[in-house]
Amino acid sequence: MPKANETVLEIDLSALTHNFNYLKSKLKPNTKFLAVVKAFAYGSDSVAIAKHLEMLNVDYLAVAYAKEGVLLREAGVTTPILVLHPQPVNFITIIKHCLEPSIYSQRILDEFVKVAEAEHQNNYPIHIKFNTGLNRLGFWENDIDLIASKLSRTKAIKAKSLFSHLAASEDKNEIEFTKNQIASFKSIAEDFKSKLDYSPWLHLCNTSGIINYPEGHLDMVRSGIGLYGFGNSATEDKQLKPIASLKSVISQIHNIEKGETVGYNRVYKAEGFETTATIPIGHADGITRIYGKGNGFVFVNGQKAPIIGNVCMDMIMVNVTGINCKEGDEVIIFDGLHKASNLAESSGTISYEIITAISQRVKRNIIPA
């Protein structure tokens, strides 16, 4: 790949193909695969990612909000799209663009039925979410009769799937809790299906669930972070390839003497004769202030350079003392070798947060498969 000459996020579709195929290899042949492409496909490029996954014959896509699904439809994506957290104000938009809502409460169910009937829908696909322990969104087990009764009284909607979400599938200390979630969901599903004259699909597992709990794969699985190259464990991380590389350049180099300070509020003071480099990326680009004051780092010509002082809106300064470099040299913030998860851990956060935070003003460069 050519060296970066500006701040750029490179997105490697061959790495995406690898991750998709690796996760699919964990499944039985008839288990469907839903790819989560919310939040600009975890900070990358949702249209490019969705179209590539479509080429790989993914069964479903998922977004958080209706407008994310509309963006994909307007770009020509035809794969079924589940909207995980819809709001009633968007229900007509959802129907207009053939998106499929997660129905997670009585209010949302009643509102969607009303809109679907007014729009003269017949068996419009919905996905009913149950809460089995995450306590975020979802119906309770004792809502089954209520939901089944409402479904029986309208022809406007039909339950395409029942699903829930695992709370701690990556945590080896929570195996009993996770197994209880799986058992609870299976019990809910059996009770629910007994009240219908058809069988909705069942899905429960996220990326860590795919890897750690094959008994929970059911009819379909959902993967987000795994597709983007992170497996929530050191062992699985080795099997996956981060799809995104965040790169920049050295804009200017400064030689400073002992006692001189760097950046806002003078929080960094040189302990001796030092060399610093200024890089055109800052908290407006997703490199937040938590990475300043030596917490975060970049790589210059293969060597680690700590971020010093406070992160600015558009710039960071790094200590390149002893590193052979010059203005215009490439800088790696993270890539397949220098992983985003390592940078995140240095500041007490997680890979999800840093990769999804990369601003849309950062240029995206799609590397074909």
Structural domains of the chain, with CATH: 31-228 (3.20.20.10), 244-367 (2.40.37.10)
d(CA 193, CA 196): 5
Instruction: Write out the DSSP string of 246-260.
Output: EEEE--EEEEE-TT-
What does the mean pLDDT of the chain come to? 97
Residue 258 burial (10 A CB sphere; 0-12, 13-18, 19+): exposed
d(CA 342, CA 180): 32
Region of 301 (left: φ > 0; alpha: ψ -120 to 50; beta: rest) is left
Of the residues 26, 32, 65, 264, which is catalytic?
A: 264
Averaged pLDDT, 161-181: 97
CB 157 within 8 A of CB 188: no
What confidence score (pLDDT) does residue 28 get? 97
**Which amino acid, one-letter code, is at 25?**
S
Q: Confidence band (pLDDT; 50, 70, 90) for 187?
A: very high
Of the residues 22, 38, 42, 160, which is catalytic?
A: 38
What is the rounded end-to-end Cα distance, in angstroms, of the chain? 13
Report pLDDT digits (tens) over 217-267. Answer: 999 999 999 999 998 788 888 999 999 999 999 999 999 999 999 999 999
- Residue whose entry in the numeric block shows the structure tokens 């929570």: 174
Q: Is 264 a catalytic residue?
A: yes
When comparing pLDDT for 26 and 235, which is higher?
Answer: 26
Report pLDDT digits (tens) over 294-327. Answer: 999 999 999 999 999 999 999 999 999 999 999 9
Supply 319's token pair: 């200590």
Q: Is 186 a catalytic residue?
A: no
d(CA 209, CA 212): 5
